[in-house]
Amino acid sequence: MGSSLFDLTGMRALITGSGQGIGMALAEGLAEHGAEIVLNGRTVSKIEAAVDALTAKGFRAHSAIFDVTDHVAVANGVAQIEDGVGAIDILINNAGMQFRSPLEDFPADKWEELLRTNISSVFFVGQAVARYMIQRKRGKIINIASVQSELARTNIAPYTATKGAVRNLTRGMCADWAKHGLQVNSIAPGYFKTPLNQALVDSPEFSAWLTNRTPAGRWGDVGELVGAAVFLAGPASSFVNGHTLYVDGGITTCL
Protein backbone atom coordinates (compact mmCIF):
# COMPACT_ATOMS: atom_id res chain seq x y z
CA MET A 1 0.00 0.00 0.00
CA GLY A 2 2.53 2.57 1.26
CA SER A 3 3.39 5.30 -1.21
CA SER A 4 0.40 4.52 -3.46
CA LEU A 5 -1.76 6.36 -0.93
CA PHE A 6 -0.13 9.60 -2.09
CA ASP A 7 0.36 8.74 -5.77
CA LEU A 8 -1.53 11.07 -8.13
CA THR A 9 -0.31 9.44 -11.34
CA GLY A 10 -3.03 9.42 -13.98
CA MET A 11 -5.02 12.15 -12.26
CA ARG A 12 -5.71 15.62 -13.63
CA ALA A 13 -6.02 18.69 -11.37
CA LEU A 14 -7.61 22.06 -12.11
CA ILE A 15 -6.28 24.77 -9.79
CA THR A 16 -7.88 28.22 -9.88
CA GLY A 17 -5.83 31.35 -9.24
CA SER A 18 -2.66 29.39 -9.87
CA GLY A 19 -0.37 31.90 -11.54
CA GLN A 20 1.54 32.63 -8.33
CA GLY A 21 1.64 32.12 -4.57
CA ILE A 22 -0.25 29.24 -2.99
CA GLY A 23 -1.89 28.17 -6.24
CA MET A 24 1.42 27.81 -8.05
CA ALA A 25 3.02 26.00 -5.11
CA LEU A 26 0.16 23.50 -5.00
CA ALA A 27 0.33 23.03 -8.78
CA GLU A 28 4.00 22.11 -8.61
CA GLY A 29 3.48 19.93 -5.54
CA LEU A 30 0.70 17.89 -7.14
CA ALA A 31 2.72 17.61 -10.35
CA GLU A 32 5.66 16.20 -8.38
CA HIS A 33 3.31 13.45 -7.17
CA GLY A 34 2.27 12.55 -10.70
CA ALA A 35 -0.73 14.75 -11.47
CA GLU A 36 -1.32 16.52 -14.76
CA ILE A 37 -2.06 20.20 -14.05
CA VAL A 38 -4.49 22.71 -15.52
CA LEU A 39 -3.62 26.22 -14.39
CA ASN A 40 -6.39 28.82 -14.29
CA GLY A 41 -6.42 32.59 -14.05
CA ARG A 42 -7.50 35.73 -15.90
CA THR A 43 -4.07 37.06 -16.88
CA VAL A 44 -2.81 35.18 -19.92
CA SER A 45 0.86 36.16 -19.51
CA LYS A 46 0.98 35.08 -15.87
CA ILE A 47 -0.68 31.72 -16.46
CA GLU A 48 1.38 30.97 -19.56
CA ALA A 49 4.57 31.76 -17.63
CA ALA A 50 3.47 29.35 -14.90
CA VAL A 51 2.72 26.65 -17.47
CA ASP A 52 6.15 27.17 -19.03
CA ALA A 53 7.79 26.89 -15.60
CA LEU A 54 6.10 23.55 -14.94
CA THR A 55 6.73 22.09 -18.39
CA ALA A 56 10.39 23.12 -18.16
CA LYS A 57 10.62 20.79 -15.16
CA GLY A 58 9.13 17.93 -17.13
CA PHE A 59 5.60 18.17 -15.76
CA ARG A 60 2.40 18.04 -17.83
CA ALA A 61 0.61 21.39 -17.64
CA HIS A 62 -2.05 23.31 -19.51
CA SER A 63 -3.64 26.75 -19.28
CA ALA A 64 -7.34 27.54 -18.88
CA ILE A 65 -8.03 31.27 -19.04
CA PHE A 66 -11.46 32.20 -17.68
CA ASP A 67 -12.96 34.40 -14.98
CA VAL A 68 -14.03 32.28 -12.01
CA THR A 69 -16.48 34.99 -10.87
CA ASP A 70 -18.54 34.65 -14.08
CA HIS A 71 -20.72 31.54 -13.94
CA VAL A 72 -21.18 31.38 -17.74
CA ALA A 73 -17.45 31.70 -18.35
CA VAL A 74 -16.84 29.02 -15.72
CA ALA A 75 -19.28 26.57 -17.30
CA ASN A 76 -17.73 27.11 -20.73
CA GLY A 77 -14.16 26.93 -19.39
CA VAL A 78 -14.76 23.69 -17.50
CA ALA A 79 -16.46 22.16 -20.53
CA GLN A 80 -13.47 23.08 -22.70
CA ILE A 81 -11.11 21.37 -20.25
CA GLU A 82 -13.25 18.23 -20.07
CA ASP A 83 -13.61 18.05 -23.85
CA GLY A 84 -10.16 19.24 -24.91
CA VAL A 85 -7.75 18.17 -22.16
CA GLY A 86 -9.57 15.44 -20.27
CA ALA A 87 -11.53 14.63 -17.15
CA ILE A 88 -10.94 16.80 -14.07
CA ASP A 89 -10.20 14.40 -11.20
CA ILE A 90 -9.10 17.04 -8.70
CA LEU A 91 -10.32 20.61 -8.26
CA ILE A 92 -8.56 23.09 -6.01
CA ASN A 93 -10.60 26.28 -5.55
CA ASN A 94 -7.74 28.62 -4.71
CA ALA A 95 -8.67 31.94 -6.36
CA GLY A 96 -9.03 34.69 -3.77
CA MET A 97 -8.40 38.31 -2.89
CA GLN A 98 -7.95 40.54 0.15
CA PHE A 99 -8.82 44.16 0.87
CA ARG A 100 -8.08 45.82 4.20
CA SER A 101 -10.08 48.67 5.69
CA PRO A 102 -11.81 49.57 8.96
CA LEU A 103 -15.26 48.00 8.72
CA GLU A 104 -17.10 51.31 9.13
CA ASP A 105 -15.28 52.67 6.08
CA PHE A 106 -15.27 49.48 3.98
CA PRO A 107 -16.26 50.33 0.38
CA ALA A 108 -19.41 48.61 -0.88
CA ASP A 109 -17.80 47.76 -4.22
CA LYS A 110 -14.93 45.96 -2.47
CA TRP A 111 -17.43 44.01 -0.36
CA GLU A 112 -19.12 42.81 -3.56
CA GLU A 113 -15.77 42.00 -5.17
CA LEU A 114 -14.69 39.95 -2.17
CA LEU A 115 -17.93 37.98 -2.25
CA ARG A 116 -17.57 37.24 -5.97
CA THR A 117 -13.90 36.32 -5.80
CA ASN A 118 -13.71 34.41 -2.53
CA ILE A 119 -17.04 32.59 -2.30
CA SER A 120 -19.06 32.84 -5.55
CA SER A 121 -16.09 31.43 -7.47
CA VAL A 122 -16.00 28.39 -5.17
CA PHE A 123 -19.68 27.76 -5.84
CA PHE A 124 -19.46 28.38 -9.60
CA VAL A 125 -16.37 26.25 -10.27
CA GLY A 126 -17.30 23.61 -7.71
CA GLN A 127 -20.75 23.15 -9.22
CA ALA A 128 -19.49 23.07 -12.82
CA VAL A 129 -16.79 20.48 -12.08
CA ALA A 130 -18.98 18.41 -9.75
CA ARG A 131 -21.54 17.86 -12.50
CA TYR A 132 -18.90 15.90 -14.42
CA MET A 133 -17.53 14.18 -11.32
CA ILE A 134 -21.01 13.01 -10.32
CA GLN A 135 -21.40 11.28 -13.68
CA ARG A 136 -18.11 9.44 -13.07
CA LYS A 137 -18.97 8.69 -9.41
CA ARG A 138 -15.61 10.01 -8.19
CA GLY A 139 -13.73 13.24 -7.63
CA LYS A 140 -11.75 15.35 -5.20
CA ILE A 141 -12.59 18.98 -4.43
CA ILE A 142 -10.34 21.03 -2.17
CA ASN A 143 -11.42 24.55 -1.25
CA ILE A 144 -8.85 26.98 0.14
CA ALA A 145 -10.27 28.48 3.31
CA SER A 146 -8.21 30.36 5.95
CA VAL A 147 -7.52 30.65 9.64
CA GLN A 148 -9.99 33.52 9.25
CA SER A 149 -12.63 30.81 8.80
CA GLU A 150 -12.19 30.38 12.56
CA LEU A 151 -10.68 33.64 13.80
CA ALA A 152 -11.19 37.37 13.30
CA ARG A 153 -8.86 40.34 13.10
CA THR A 154 -9.35 44.07 12.67
CA ASN A 155 -9.76 45.60 9.21
CA ILE A 156 -10.62 42.34 7.39
CA ALA A 157 -14.16 41.52 8.56
CA PRO A 158 -15.54 40.99 5.01
CA TYR A 159 -12.63 38.67 4.14
CA THR A 160 -13.32 36.76 7.36
CA ALA A 161 -16.98 36.46 6.35
CA THR A 162 -16.08 34.99 2.95
CA LYS A 163 -13.66 32.46 4.39
CA GLY A 164 -16.19 31.38 7.01
CA ALA A 165 -18.56 30.84 4.11
CA VAL A 166 -15.98 28.71 2.27
CA ARG A 167 -15.69 26.46 5.32
CA ASN A 168 -19.45 25.96 5.52
CA LEU A 169 -19.90 25.62 1.75
CA THR A 170 -17.34 22.82 1.94
CA ARG A 171 -19.57 21.06 4.45
CA GLY A 172 -22.60 21.63 2.26
CA MET A 173 -20.84 20.26 -0.81
CA CYS A 174 -19.97 17.16 1.19
CA ALA A 175 -23.57 16.76 2.35
CA ASP A 176 -24.85 16.86 -1.24
CA TRP A 177 -22.08 15.13 -3.16
CA ALA A 178 -20.48 12.49 -0.91
CA LYS A 179 -23.23 10.05 -1.92
CA HIS A 180 -21.95 10.38 -5.50
CA GLY A 181 -18.42 9.33 -4.58
CA LEU A 182 -16.91 12.81 -4.19
CA GLN A 183 -14.67 13.90 -1.31
CA VAL A 184 -14.93 17.63 -0.61
CA ASN A 185 -12.60 19.18 1.97
CA SER A 186 -10.86 22.46 2.63
CA ILE A 187 -7.39 23.58 3.64
CA ALA A 188 -7.20 26.56 5.96
CA PRO A 189 -3.75 28.17 5.71
CA GLY A 190 -2.39 30.31 8.50
CA TYR A 191 -0.10 33.22 7.71
CA PHE A 192 2.08 32.43 4.70
CA LYS A 193 4.49 34.60 2.77
CA THR A 194 2.49 35.23 -0.41
CA PRO A 195 1.77 38.22 -2.67
CA LEU A 196 -1.64 38.48 -0.97
CA ASN A 197 0.09 39.03 2.38
CA GLN A 198 2.99 41.15 1.16
CA ALA A 199 1.84 44.25 3.05
CA LEU A 200 1.89 42.24 6.28
CA VAL A 201 5.19 40.56 5.49
CA ASP A 202 6.72 44.01 4.99
CA SER A 203 5.46 45.25 8.35
CA PRO A 204 7.97 44.65 11.19
CA GLU A 205 5.20 45.28 13.72
CA PHE A 206 2.88 42.68 12.23
CA SER A 207 5.64 40.10 11.79
CA ALA A 208 6.60 40.56 15.44
CA TRP A 209 2.97 40.11 16.50
CA LEU A 210 2.62 37.02 14.32
CA THR A 211 5.74 35.25 15.56
CA ASN A 212 4.66 35.87 19.16
CA ARG A 213 1.08 34.76 18.47
CA THR A 214 1.93 31.58 16.52
CA PRO A 215 3.22 28.59 18.55
CA ALA A 216 5.60 27.70 15.69
CA GLY A 217 7.02 31.23 15.99
CA ARG A 218 7.26 32.08 12.28
CA TRP A 219 5.56 32.70 8.95
CA GLY A 220 4.66 29.65 6.89
CA ASP A 221 6.29 28.77 3.58
CA VAL A 222 3.85 27.96 0.75
CA GLY A 223 5.59 24.64 0.15
CA GLU A 224 4.34 23.53 3.56
CA LEU A 225 0.79 23.38 2.17
CA VAL A 226 1.66 20.74 -0.41
CA GLY A 227 1.47 17.76 1.93
CA ALA A 228 -2.07 18.61 2.99
CA ALA A 229 -3.13 19.07 -0.64
CA VAL A 230 -1.58 15.77 -1.77
CA PHE A 231 -3.27 13.96 1.12
CA LEU A 232 -6.70 15.41 0.31
CA ALA A 233 -6.23 14.93 -3.45
CA GLY A 234 -5.20 11.28 -3.33
CA PRO A 235 -6.33 7.85 -2.19
CA ALA A 236 -5.19 8.41 1.41
CA SER A 237 -8.23 10.61 2.13
CA SER A 238 -10.89 8.29 0.68
CA PHE A 239 -13.04 8.54 3.84
CA VAL A 240 -12.24 12.16 4.76
CA ASN A 241 -15.15 14.40 3.82
CA GLY A 242 -16.45 17.83 4.78
CA HIS A 243 -13.32 18.49 6.82
CA THR A 244 -11.29 21.69 7.19
CA LEU A 245 -7.59 21.02 7.72
CA TYR A 246 -5.77 23.92 9.39
CA VAL A 247 -2.15 24.34 8.32
CA ASP A 248 -1.26 27.27 10.54
CA GLY A 249 1.68 26.61 12.83
CA GLY A 250 -0.78 26.19 15.70
CA ILE A 251 -2.24 29.70 15.67
CA THR A 252 -5.83 28.43 15.98
CA THR A 253 -4.96 26.51 19.14
CA CYS A 254 -4.24 29.59 21.22
CA LEU A 255 -6.28 32.57 22.34
CA distance 161 to 146: 11
Is 246 one of the catalytic residues?
A: no
Q: Determine contact, residues 182/140, Cβ cutoff 8 Å.
A: yes
Q: Is the dihedral of CA 170, 171, 176, 182 positive or negative?
A: positive
Distances (CA, A) of 180 to 5, 140, 144: 21, 11, 22
Compute how many other C-beta atoms are within 10 angstroms of the C-beta atom of residue 4.
Answer: 10
- Out of 132, 159, 191, 246, pick the active-site residue: 159
Nearest alpha-carbon partner for 64 in 44, 34, 36: 44
Centroid of chain to Cα 252: 19
Nearest alpha-carbon partner for 61 in 36, 24, 83: 36
3-state secondary structure of 236: helix
3-state secondary structure of 66: coil
How would you class 56 by CB atoms within 10 Å of its CB: exposed for 0-12, middle for 13-18, buried for 19 or more?
exposed
CA distance 34 to 4: 11
* Catalytic center residues: 159
